[in-house]
């Protein structure tokens, strides 16, 4: 039998899905020590001056920048080799009792995630901006599924991440059902390569809002439903591009002029902010809530950015199809994180060992280490506070929602 690869502490924890090979069964403590050695850092510093210096950091050093880009090149060249043990499509465990919300599920990775979860028996909610396209897609899937059993249990709800009011309306509508939510997959994202800086109607840089702020708001507002569905999971689709990202909490919109804005700056910093926020949320959620938080990398996937690329760059993408994942291949890490029974145990091990970041699952469905910058605990808490300020919620909203209290949001006239 082939067993799951996540680190284990007991024989009972080793009883998992027969999908991927087992790696060396390290404890979370061993993983933490190894990664401290790799990063050349500790979770706490005995040098206050170094902490002050880090706080005033205004960007990645050239060594960090070069290391990040080398990692990206390595991922592109070798992702097929490192993920060669995975089946395509990813076989899933029984999910008939799960209700899953998948954002941005009319195309690319999100479309594959929604389809595969529905075909495996889950109740899937496609949270999308284009509801017409989603309904047409569902009809197509239903027709293809005819004769293979019961109809797919899938529905559509409108959600526009470029509008925080829309996020609040969606959460209100879903929470009003008073039903459980077992898996929230924050898949929707944008990477408008080569485009000038654009602000949403809420006044935020579009990459920041779609890739970080809106998913953060959605995750927090849906906590009551996630608690009803406990054990439940929040899965955030991230990117290897966060390795070249940097977050300035005093200028998250990149409008101060301290850094020159490019779409790469907007995208990479938004993905890093997502990991930092997720790491604090992971720690803030008590074990009794039963909610797991994890970030995943789909790998270098053609559909991730192809629609936003200049035509000449799109052509280059088509010249290297061997190295680039298909949407189906890119969906595997998210599906794994959303359904594998050992993922919550792994997340709890990280929390128990006070590891500074949440679980980060790579494109080969193995736990990996996010960037060194993602381990900056001080900046992560600053991102947490700034994010709540930007999305219009009090910074203690998580604790209050878990306790069943009402929490006011300045968007959408919401009360949780």
For the stretch 169-178, pLDDT in tens is: 999 999 999 9
For the stretch 34-76, pLDDT in tens is: 444 444 443 444 444 444 444 457 788 888 888 888 888 888 8
Residues contacting residue 361 through CB under 8 Å, at least 6 positions apart: 294, 295, 296, 297, 333, 336, 337, 343, 367, 368
Model pTM score: 0.85
Set 267, 317, 322, 411: catalytic member: 267
For the stretch 329-376, pLDDT in tens is: 999 999 999 999 999 999 999 998 899 999 999 999 999 999 999 999
For the ranges 41-55, 124-138, 216-230, the lowest mean pLDDT is seen at: 41-55
What per-residue string of b and e applies to 263-300 under the rule 16 or more CB within 10 Å gives b? bebbbbbbbbbbbbbbbbbbbebeeebebbbbbbbbbb
The total of other beta-carbon atoms located within 10 Å of residue 107's CB is: 16
Q: Is the pLDDT of residue 110 over 90?
A: yes
What per-residue string of b and e applies to 210-227 under the rule 16 or more CB within 10 Å gives b? bbbbbbbbbbbbbbbbbb
Tokens 């990477």 label which residue?
191
Quote the CA–CA distance of 41 and 56 in Å, as a whole number.
18
C-alpha separations of 204 from 254, 255, 388 in Å: 10, 10, 13
Contact 98, 125 (CB under 8 A): no
Q: Do the bridges between strand 291-296 and strand 232-237 make them parallel or antiparallel, or are there none, so unpaired?
A: parallel
Largest CA distance in the chain: 68
C-alpha separations of 351 from 4, 59, 100, 160 in Å: 20, 28, 24, 33
Burial (CB count within 10 angstroms: exposed 0-12, middle 13-18, buried 19+), residue 139: exposed
Tokens 């080569």 label which residue?
194
pLDDT the model gives residue 39? 43
Q: Which of 192, 372, 160 is nearest to 266 (CA)?
A: 192
The mean per-residue pLDDT over the stretch 200-226 comes to 98
Tokens 């929390």 label which residue?
351
267 is catalytic: yes
Structure tokens given for 43: 């979770």
Residues contacting residue 109 through CB under 8 Å, at least 6 positions apart: 187, 237, 298, 301, 303, 304, 327, 330, 331, 334
pLDDT the model gives residue 362? 97
Topology adopted by domain 64-391: Rossmann fold (3.40.50)
Share of the chain above pLDDT 70, in %: 81
What per-residue string of b and e applies to 241-253 under the rule 16 or more CB within 10 Å gives b? bbbbbbbbbeebb
Tokens 């720690």 label which residue?
283
More confident residue, 60 or 10: 60
Tokens 């907007």 label which residue?
266
The mean per-residue pLDDT over the stretch 310-336 comes to 79
pLDDT the model gives residue 313? 55
Quote the CA–CA distance of 179 and 181 in Å, as a whole number.
7
Contact 20, 2 (CB under 8 A): yes
């Amino acid at each position: 039998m082939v067993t799951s690869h996540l680190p284990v502490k007991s024989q009972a924890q080793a009883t998992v899905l027969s999908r991927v090979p087992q790696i060396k069964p390290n404890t979370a403590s061993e993983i933490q020590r190894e990664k401290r050695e790799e990063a050349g850092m500790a979770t706490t510093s005995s040098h206050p001056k170094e902490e002050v210096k880090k706080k005033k950091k205004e960007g990645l050093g050239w060594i960090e920048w070069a290391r990040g880009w080398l990692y990206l090149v390595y991922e592109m060249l070798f992702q097929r080799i490192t993920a060669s043990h995975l089946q395509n499509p990813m076989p899933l465990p029984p999910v008939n009792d799960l209700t899953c919300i998948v954002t941005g599920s009319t195309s690319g990775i999100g479309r594959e995630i929604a389809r595969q979860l529905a075909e495996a028996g889950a109740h899937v909610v496609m949270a999308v901006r284009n509801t017409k396209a989603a309904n047409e897609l569902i009809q197509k899937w239903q027709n293809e599924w005819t004769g293979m059993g019961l109809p797919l249990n899938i529905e559509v709800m409108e959600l526009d991440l470029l509008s925080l009011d829309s996020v609040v309306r969606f959460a209100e509508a879903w929470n009003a059902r008073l039903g459980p939510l077992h898996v929230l997959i924050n898949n929707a994202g944008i990477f408008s390569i080569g485009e000038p800086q654009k602000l949403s109607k809420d006044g935020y840089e579009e990459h920041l809002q779609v890739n970080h702020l809106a998913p953060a708001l959605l995750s927090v507002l849906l906590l009551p439903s996630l608690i009803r569905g406990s054990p439940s999971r929040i899965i955030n689709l991230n990117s290897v591009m966060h390795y070249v990202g940097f977050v300035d909490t005093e200028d998250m919109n990149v409008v101060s002029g301290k850094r020159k804005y490019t779409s790469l700056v907007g995208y990479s910093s938004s993905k890093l902010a997502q990991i930092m926020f997720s790491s604090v949320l992971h720690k803030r959620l008590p074990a009794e809530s039963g909610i797991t938080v994890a970030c995943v990398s789909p790998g270098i996937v053609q559909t991730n950015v192809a629609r936003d690329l200049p035509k000449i760059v799109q052509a280059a993408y088509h010249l290297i199809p061997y190295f680039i994942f298909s949407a189906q291949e890119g969906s595997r890490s998210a599906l794994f994180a959303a359904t594998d029974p050992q993922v919550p145990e792994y997340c709890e091990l990280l929390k128990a060992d006070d590891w500074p970041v949440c679980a980060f699952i790579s494109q080969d469905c193995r736990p990996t280490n996010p960037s060194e910058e993602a381990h900056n605990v001080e900046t992560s808490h600053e991102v947490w506070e700034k994010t709540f300020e930007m999305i219009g919620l009090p910074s203690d909203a998580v604790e209050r929602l878990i306790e069943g209290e009402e929490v006011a949001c300045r968007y959408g006239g919401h009360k949780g």
